[in-house]
Amino acid sequence: MYKDLKPVMDTYVFNDGSFRDLMSLRGTVPVNYRGNVYNIPVCLWLMDTYPYNPPICFVKPTSAMMIKSGKHIDANGKMYLPYLHEWKHPQSDLYGLIQVMIVVFGEEPPVFSRPTTPRILLTPEHPSQESVLQRQKLQLEIEVLQRQKQVLEIQEQYYSIKLRRLLGDDA
């Protein structure tokens, strides 16, 4: 039914850095949002325990899109849908999952178009409050690092003196 989703064998990298060759379904699902149909790019990774365990699902934005993190999507595009959390074989399947995606994404789209108009840059004469705060934060971090350096230098002197005394070199 969703002919744009194609099976692809690829390497999945887990959060712990381990990896495994897995089957994935990649493509788009059609989502109706405010009267228009949008093709949302997705990737559904099928674990070797599928269909007993749910797929790991991601939104995969194109270069012209940005992820809109929210209740069901994190900043990396990973999906958190109740259907996945409550997955039970044989009642749960990919068709049902895609139907849920369509409904959820129709209410809260997981991607949006990147702005095409250039952003207005604030001049140094009129810095934003955020940039002033960022600069203050960086200055404080520099002060902390300088003090840490001083502490390390004092510790180095202390241990150098202690070592010379232990070695019997009072020079």
Q: What is the pTM of this model?
A: 0.67
Tokens matching residue 114: 């990147």
- Chain segment 121-155, per-residue pLDDT in tens: 555 555 667 777 888 888 888 888 888 888 888 88
Q: What is the DSSP letter of 118?
A: P
Q: Are residues 69 and 87 part of one domain?
A: yes
Cα–Cα distance for residue pair 85/105, rounded to 1 Å = 17
- Chain segment 57-85, per-residue pLDDT in tens: 999 999 999 999 999 999 999 999 999 99
pLDDT score at 56 = 97
Widest pairwise Cα distance in the chain: 86
Cα–Cα distance for residue pair 138/47, rounded to 1 Å = 44
Please check whether residue 98 lies inside any domain of the structure: yes
Please check whether residue 145 lies inside any domain of the structure: yes
Closest CA to 30 of 7, 9, 55, 1: 1
Please check whether residue 1 lies inside any domain of the structure: no
Mean pLDDT for all residues in the chain: 89
